[in-house]
Amino acid sequence: MKKVYKSEVDKFLFGIVIAITFFPLIFLLYESTSFSDTIILAIIILLSALLLGNCIWGIRYIIDQKQLIIKAGFLYKVKIDIETIRKIRKSNSILSSPAASFDRIEILYNKYDDILISPKDRTVFISDLLKINPNIEIIL
């Protein structure tokens, strides 16, 4: 059985994406020297924004059989054997991770590996992991 969970998206992070997209476009409209330069730069900025948006709004956490698959857009994919997960704990770390919210959980797996994620429905997500591996220590 395959179950998909979306990432929670912070309003702050959403604002950053909007700012990164529109401030350069506004600046470009006022400072551009030629129409062709404006069009080329606008296309580059919009394509960059689409790529960034895909990475943020394309974050998915998938439980498939005994694997947790973490995907962020089409560029990032990690597979974790759920049986190797040792601990799940709350985290507010701002480190780069496949999480679109700063209200995160840290998954510790294998001996020294960890990853930060932010599933929208955290309770159901953790409950589904515990059904597969009831030995996971939960610290929230």
Q: Find all residues with CB under 8 Å of 136, minimum gap 6, and list them.
A: 85, 86, 87, 88, 126, 129, 130
User: Which class in CATH covers the domain with range 1-139?
Assistant: mainly beta
In this predicted model, what pLDDT tens digit does every residue of 41-59 receive, in sequence order?
A: 878 888 888 887 877 788 9
CB 100 within 8 A of CB 57: yes
Per domain, the residue ranges of the chain are: 1-139
User: Can you give the pLDDT at residue 32?
Assistant: 65
Instruction: Give me the residues of the chain with pLDDT under 70, please.
Output: 32-33
Report the alpha-carbon distance of residue 45 to residue 51 in Å, rounded.
10
